[in-house]
Amino acid sequence: HGACLIMLCYHFLLDQVTEKFLSSESVGAIKAIRKMITQLKEHGVVDIFRDYSTKDIVSSFLALFKLQQAAAYYGEQKRTEGHSVNKKLLQRLAYYSVFANAAYGWKMEAASNGKLDRGNLRTLVRKTGIKEEDVVAAKWASKTHRPAYFIVRDLKHRKIVLSIRGTFSARDVLTDLCASAETFETGRRGKHRAHHGMLEAAISLATETKETVEKELHANPGYSLVLVGHSLGGGVAAVLGTLWEKDYPNLQVYGYGSPCVSPADARPTTCKNIISVLGEGDPFACLS
128, 124, 137, 133: which is closest to 95 by C-alpha?
Answer: 128
66-70, 89-93, 128-132, 162-166 — which is least confidently predicted? Answer: 66-70
pLDDT of 176:
85
Q: Strand 191-195 vs strand 274-277: parallel, antiparallel, or unpaired? A: unpaired
Q: Is the pLDDT of residue 26 over 80?
A: no
Q: Are 283 and 259 in contact (CB under 8 A)?
A: no
Residue 259 has pLDDT above 70, yes or no: yes
pLDDT of residue 110: 75
pLDDT score at 7: 46
Between 207 and 11, where is the model more confident? 207
pLDDT higher than 90, residue 154: yes
| pTM, rounded to two decimals | 0.74
d(CA 134, CA 247): 23
Closest CA to 236 of 196, 278, 271: 196
In this prediction, residue 80 carries a pLDDT of: 47
Q: In which band, very low, low, confident or very high, does the pLDDT at 279 lie, cut at 50, 70 and 90? A: confident
